[in-house]
Chain A
Amino acid sequence: MTTLLETRGLKKHFGGAHVINGIDFKIDAGEIRCVIGPNGAGKSTFFKLITGEHRPSEGSVLFLGQDMSHVLPHQRIRMGMSIKFQIPGVFPDLSVRQHLQLSLHRAKDDRPESLDELLQRFMLEDEEHVLARNLSHGKKQWLEIAMAVSLRPKLLFLDEPVAGMSIEETHATGELIKRLSASGLTMMVVEHDMTFVKQIASRVTVLHGGALLADGPLDEILARDDVAEVYLGKKK
């Protein structure tokens, strides 16, 4: 199995605060990896270290075997990473269509049928000309995922993709992600919602206190006492 992403001894401290304390981590091609952990576990910082928003204090991030330490965020995207942020990062004064035009252009694909296919796939057909500022929260999340997918990434990062969604939207998003996975896309999902994690994940990584607590198949991880203790706050 090809390893797409790897972190080696990854550390990050802000002044005296040690937020990430040496994480060794791998994602293989084709998997959906969910990264979970309680608040303050370091999930967001870990995510930002991988995407290039933060620079590691120590250790390295390797994408397709290449050290990313000095690769700028936009260059990482061009190399095959794609990101959906926790807070929908849409452009308020652009329509759904313009968003997708822009992202498809970045992917060097200006075919109209690609745009139509994305609209259909992400359930945005009826909002084609609606400005992003007027979309519901859930549709903004889908638009962002659509933009990220349209870049034809090798690895898609989703930071809390169902935050603020209704139960129906959460379930629909889960099905969407499973369809994307079935098409061969590798994904790393940072998520709180355990129902959603159970819906999509085959393998889970648990962070706690800025370190890797557990890593493995979903059922095994959820059966562990230490995970239950830090994640649910009680002993099993």
Chain B
Amino acid sequence: MKQSNLPSSTSAATRTLRYLPWLVALCLPLIVDATTSGNLAYCLLWAFGAVGLAAMWGYGGILSFGQTAFFGLSGYSYGIFTLNYGDNWFDSWLGLGAGLAVSVVAAALIGYMIFFGRIKGVFIGIVTLSVTLVLETFMSQTAGPQWAIGEARLNGYNGMGGMPQLTIPWPGGPLTLENKSFYYLVLILLLVVYAVMRRLLDGTFGLTLIAIRENPQRAEMLGVDIRRHQWLVFVLGCTLGGLSGALYTIWGSYITPSTMGLTAAAMPVIWVATSGKKTIGGTIIGTALLVWLSQNLAVYGSQYALILLGAILLIVVLAAPEGLLPFVTRQLRRIAPRAGEARRHGSSSTCFKQEEGKS
């Protein structure tokens, strides 16, 4: 029962599976038009929040319905900042930073109350869902002119609009990042987030989170400060939700309270559960594909997309509870020649399962 026969030894098939999506994503704008590139950027930008939830839920065992709260907070913060100060290229980036900063602070406060207040299990889901619904309700009633911060009108249920897009200095005048250039910005950010999260979650931080998820009392007896670790991953995950929100607002130059509503709050959970909550790469691919599918179906009516997503979730939960991508990877391993050889050598496949912490 040695390493050589282990599923964790990455086969050529799984290596290809790991890098191929990035290569495809890199080449896509070369074969599609600018508008489609912009739409693809939209599909990718939701993945940040999904990755954040995967870290919290898949690794730390913290099921949060609050990704949309931080999505909205960050999006509105970007809008308020840039509508007041967004005169040049630098301010639009500062706006992005402000959105993230608000997410970090809000997540730190809410997370502190949750984890240091010893709220556990399903109650974390209830608290975070309440937070996002309260925010949605509050923002929905801000229609009057009195609801303005400086130049930025909140506009109630109609949402806030007219925010500037991100720009970068360029010879001949600032270059606005839209369509293809915005797509590449999102892709680069996603690559950075993927690399950082892989490094973090495949390392001892990830192992510690898994240990806390599986046996908190034992983890504590290793000297682990459970609440601190849960709080840290919560803040990290929520900040990624905030990054999605800020990028969404930049992409469409608008944000509405419905992005924090009940349907929206359920979406990250569906994406992550379907994609595989213990895999960061799988979550990115799954989320992008599911958003793309929803967008295409929404042309015929948004209810069709929701029904289909529900059906997909049910099928995945029943047939491949670990998620779609881990399921596909497992099937590939099964048919890979190396796995066949290992079987011939009598390795007991029932004895091993993919070691966790290999996202």
Contacts and interface: CB of A to CB of B under 8 A. Distances in A.
Contacts of B217: 53, 85, 89
Contacts of A85: 217-218, 221
B352 A129 contact: yes
A101 B207 contact: yes
A169 interface: no
A123 B1 CA distance: 14
Interface string B202-218: 00100110110011011
A88 to B, nearest CB: 9
B218 A73 contact: no
A128 B356 CA distance: 14
Interface in A118-147: 126-131, 133-134, 147
B221 A98 contact: no
Contacts of B208: 102
Given A94-B356, A102-B204, A83 B3 contact: no
Interface of B: 1-3, 6, 8, 204, 207-208, 210-211, 214-215, 217-226, 350-353, 355-357
Nearest to A131: B353
A97 B223 CA distance: 18
A220 interface: no
A93 interface: yes
Interface of A: 51, 53, 73-74, 77-78, 82-83, 85, 89-95, 97-98, 101-103, 105-106, 126-131, 133-134, 147-148, 151
Contacts of A93: 210, 214, 353, 356
A147 B223 CA distance: 11
Contact of A91 (B3, B210, B353): B210
A129 B353 contact: no
B224 A129 contact: no
Contacts of B6: 129
Contacts of A98: 207, 355-357
A92 B224 contact: no
Contact of B351 (A89, A134, A147): A134
Nearest to B223: A77
B11 to A, nearest CB: 16
A126 B1 contact: yes
A58 B356 CA distance: 43
A91 B207 CA distance: 10
Contacts of B222: 77, 102-103, 106, 147, 151
Nearest to A88: B218
B220 A90 contact: no
Contacts of B218: 85, 89-91
Contacts of A105: 204, 207
Given A74-B226, A95-B355, A131-B353, A83 B221 contact: yes
Contacts of B357: 94, 98
Contacts of B219: 91
A50 to B, nearest CB: 12
B188 to A, nearest CB: 31
Contact of B3 (A128, A131, A151): A128
Contacts of A51: 221
